[in-house]
Amino acid sequence: MNELKQSTGYITAQTTAGSVDYLALYNRFGAMAYGMILQIVPQETVAQQVLVDVFSSPELKHCYAQTGSGLACVIKVTRQKALMAKKVQEETLAEAVETSMDTDTVTPELLFNLSYKQGLSPDTIAQQYGLTKADVLKAIREYVKSFRKL
């Protein structure tokens, strides 16, 4: 069975019969993994889901069984999962941009959502919609001001 040992302030997992103590790996490397994920995927809700996926994935167990290094495996699996989540997010965003470009209605709400909810920079939004950066920022500012009047 799994036993936990306290050594120099870190919890280490001793595994037997190929099992992995996911909790011990999470306790030791969870904060580092979450920081890595946030650098790749800046949305907190998505990052939290990726973190759960990392520490419940069979890839982590497989990697740990091959190498025996918890740190290397957590880094490898975290990076893979975060990049996959970013790719899915970018594909979804590209579909949303194509749909909104088909209607030819660029609203301040759309620009706000692209900037703050999807994490696109004003430069990227301006380039995709054929606007200037100043126009994008002005539309976002107007959209935020509309909430102050309510």
What is the block-wise mean pLDDT of the chain (150 residues), using blocks of 10 residues? 42 48 84 90 87 88 80 89 87 66 69 79 82 88 79
Output the CA–CA distances (angstroms, integers) from residue 74 to 99, 102, 144, in the order listed.
Answer: 37, 42, 40
Sign of the dihedral defined by the CA atoms of residues 61, 62, 65, 71, in that order: negative
Question: What is the extent of the structural domain holding 11?
Answer: 1-88
Say what the pLDDT of residue 104 is.
57
Are 16 and 76 within one domain? Answer: yes
pLDDT score of 20? 67
| Model pTM score | 0.56
Predicted local distance difference test score (pLDDT) of residue 114: 81
Residues 84 and 112 in one domain: no
Considering the domain architecture, whether residues 81 and 109 belong to the same structural domain is answered as no
Task: Round to the nearest angstrom and report the end-to-end CA distance of the chain.
Answer: 60
In a domain, 94, yes or no: no
Q: What is the predicted pLDDT for the residue at 129?
A: 81
- Same domain? For 7 and 64 the reply is yes
Distances (CA, A) of 7 to 13, 97, 101, 107, 140: 11, 51, 57, 57, 52
Quick one: 53 and 15 in the same domain? yes
According to the model, what pLDDT value does residue 98 have? 63
Q: Look at residue 26 in the predicted model and tell me its pLDDT.
A: 87
- What's residue 51's pLDDT? 92
In terms of residues, how long is the chain? Answer: 150
Q: For residue 17, tell me if it sits in a domain.
A: yes
Half-sphere exposure of 105 (CA within 13 A, CB side): 5
pLDDT of residue 72: 86
4 by DSSP, 3-state: which? strand
